[in-house]
Amino acid sequence: MKIVHASPGFGSKFSEEQTLDFLSKGKLNLLLGTIDEKGEPNVHPVWYLFENGKFYIETSKTAKKANNARKKNIVYFCIDDEKMPYKGVRGKGTVRISEDINANIPIAKKIMIKYTGNLDNEVAKFLMNAVKNGFSVLLEITPKYFATWDHSTGFTEPEHFS
């Protein structure tokens, strides 16, 4: 796992364990950056699951992010905590689209439980119905690197301020 410091001189970078904890245990949205057919950037706030070193995102087959990923499988992602002290992880990765309903169901269930608490609420039922009926796909993102920041520790004086 390649981890770089996103803001050298300001805070510190996460260790591998801290990166995995931040991505696996949090309930923040992931901001997914894709490129559309005009070559313009699009940012999509999404629910995600981070498991086995990959991100999983459930979305409609016809969603803009899915269409963009079909045309260009390079994406950018950012998960950041807006509460002080600021912390986060961003990076770039490649995306693969899974339309395999049987493979998608268990992952989609984990996403719904993470964000809605269980599978018995209207939102989870609606979204799981779309997965079961093949209206949804899973975006599987394999990160190339992580750029991390933790502004609670490790402040240093940049050279140009000395």
Residue 148 pLDDT = 93
Q: Which CATH architecture has domain 3-152?
A: Roll (2.30)
The answer to whether the beta carbons of residues 155 and 14 sit under 8 Å apart is no
Measured CA to CA, the distance from residue 29 to residue 156 in angstroms comes to: 30
50 pLDDT more than 70: yes
141 pLDDT more than 60: yes
8 pLDDT more than 90: no
The answer to whether the beta carbons of residues 52 and 142 sit under 8 Å apart is no
| pLDDT tens-place string over residues 87-124 | 999 999 999 999 999 999 999 999 999 999 999 999 99
Residue 162 pLDDT = 41
The answer to whether the beta carbons of residues 101 and 134 sit under 8 Å apart is yes
**Which string of b and e fits 127-144 if b means at least 16 CB within 10 Å?**
bbebbeeeebbbbbbebe
The answer to whether the beta carbons of residues 151 and 87 sit under 8 Å apart is yes
